[in-house]
Amino acid sequence: QVQLVESGGGVVQPGRSLRLSCAASGFNFASYALHWVRQAPGKGLEWVAVVSFDGSNKYYADSVKGRFTISRDNSKRTLFLQMSSLRAEDTALYHCARDQGDGYNRFDSWGQGTLVTVSS
Amino acid sequence: DIQMTQSPSSLSASVGDRVTITCRASQSIGSYLNWYQQKPGKAPNLLIYAASNLQSGVPSSFSGSGSGTDFTLTISSLQPEDFATYYCQQSYSLPPTFGGGTKVEIK
């Protein structure tokens, strides 16, 4: 079955960087777009970024544009999110999510998330 | 960005009740509307896609309707496992945006 497992979260000071990973299994990884979606504690869902099936197209939420970079390694079946210049408002549980295809922009499988806490 | 507004933000209902949650988009999104269920401490789960299509494995007690700007999620007979928070999400244009959520609680 489809499995997405995030890692790399932790406590980080404002202004510092962090790299999240999402290891995938159970499906043809290279055929699907992949997203990051975050959820601040006690709050709703916020889309962060998407990368196309082959890594050629990437889009970001305005709130992270210029600070976060999404990428993927299809040979290792892994999705990444490089986060820099972190702010307190980036504190959230970060989920990777599989697109229902490539560019449908709806999410049919989710990981359990990795928690990022930005605090001094 | 397209704004998604859900109502109510919370509701109390009993097992067996019919429950309806509404979602309104700030502009027409055709049928590009999806619904998710999220239980505490768990990842969201896709229930309905493209306004009215039931995702594989989702009980038929869930249904979706609507087009344009107004959409509805209906649970025909609420079960104990249905108590959760529900989110709508538009996939008409980037960025994908979510409604604020509707928490369904036990009466």
Rounded mean pLDDT, B66-73: 98
Strand pairing report for B33-38 and B45-49: antiparallel
Neighbour count for residue B41 (Cβ, 10 Å): 8
Check: CB of residue B46 under 8 Å from CB of residue B55.
yes
Please give the Cα distance from A63 to A52 (Å, whole number).
20
Q: How much is the pLDDT for A101?
A: 86
For A108, the closest of B38, B42, B46 (CB atoms) is B46
User: Hey, what's the torsion of the CAs at B96, B104, B13, B74, to 10 degrees?
Assistant: 20
Q: Residue B2: its chain A contacts at CB < 8 A?
A: none
Check: CB of residue B33 under 8 Å from CB of residue B50.
yes
Condensed to tens digits (0 to 9), the pLDDT of residues A43-72 reads 999 999 999 999 999 999 999 999 999 999
Nearest CA in chain B to A96: B43
Condensed to tens digits (0 to 9), the pLDDT of residues A5-35 reads 999 999 999 999 999 999 999 999 999 999 9
The three-class DSSP label of residue A88 is helix
Of the pLDDT bands very low, low, confident and very high (cuts 50, 70, 90), residue B29 is very high
**Strand (E) positions, chain B?**
4-7, 10-13, 19-25, 33-38, 45-49, 53-54, 62-67, 70-75, 85-90, 97-98, 102-106
Please give the Cα distance from A51 to A79 (Å, whole number).
9
CB pairs under 8 A between A and B: 53
Residue A11 sits at φ, ψ, to 5 deg, of: -95, 130
Q: Residue A112: its chain B contacts at CB < 8 A?
A: 42-43
Nearest CA in chain A to B58: A108
Condensed to tens digits (0 to 9), the pLDDT of residues A75-94 reads 999 999 999 999 999 999 99
